Amino acid sequence: MVRDAYYTLYQLNLIAKSERRSRRPIGDELDRIRSELLNRQEHRSAHIPYLDILEFSILSCMRIGEVCKILWEDVDGKSKAVKVRDRKDPRKKEGNHMWVLLLGDAWEILQRQPKTAACIFPYNSKSVSAGFQRVRSKLGIHDLKYHDLRREGASRLFEQGFSIEEIAQVTGHRNLNTLWLIYTELYPNRVHEKFNLLQRQRGMDVERG
């Protein structure tokens, strides 16, 4: 299969994907986008809950296409998780289902959606991302894509102390090296900072002893 050959060649570094992105919202960019999206969804002709979808996308680390396909029947209330069907994988296009835990407010956002359709967010993913792009452009925010929100969510988990393996269970990455490369680009000094903090704590313990 061509798809299998592509994956093998990619693993052998004989072909490569486009340059990795490391863009995250900076400063007050997200707050400005939220404010403008609120204005957009409060318009009388609007029907897409942009704010809920934005926050859910970040907290769940899902692609917008995945968010708009989640089914109510695939919600596990006991474990506060949802089944993401056919999750993107270079080796498998269909049947790659994965249970994803909804952490923090992601579960609350899901619960407050009206059950008017089979999907929790029954909206066209292209319409959602197009609305985001129009707002971003109106605000003069450059080079920020909707997909970057997935990186933002994963980066927040990393900052909160979750391990790469734990984050991969949320993002769906099969190759941990992909996550590792992203984080070494975004946080080159993080290990040094943690080491210095542990050293200071150890010194304080010695003084107390």
Residue 179: give its domain's CATH number.
1.10.443.10
Inform me whether the pLDDT recorded for 35 exceeds 90.
Answer: yes
pTM above 0.85, yes or no: no
> Is 129 in contact with 112 (CB distance < 8 Å)?
no
Q: What is the reported pLDDT for 4?
A: 53
Say if residue 24's pLDDT is above 80: yes
Grade residue 191 by pLDDT with cuts at 50, 70 and 90. Answer: low
Q: How many domains does the chain have?
A: 1
Q: What is the largest CA-CA distance in the chain?
A: 67
The H or E element containing residue 181 is helix 176-186
To 5 degrees, how large is the angle CA 114–CA 171–CA 127? 45
For residues 5-15, b (16+ Cβ closer than 10 Å) or e, as one string? eeeeeeeeeee
Residues of the domain holding 178: 2-208
Chain segment 75-129, per-residue pLDDT in tens = 999 999 999 988 776 555 555 788 998 988 999 999 999 999 999 999 999 999 9
- Model confidence pLDDT, tens digit, residues 146-166: 999 998 998 888 888 888 888
**105 CB contacts (<8 Å, ≥6 apart)?**
55, 59
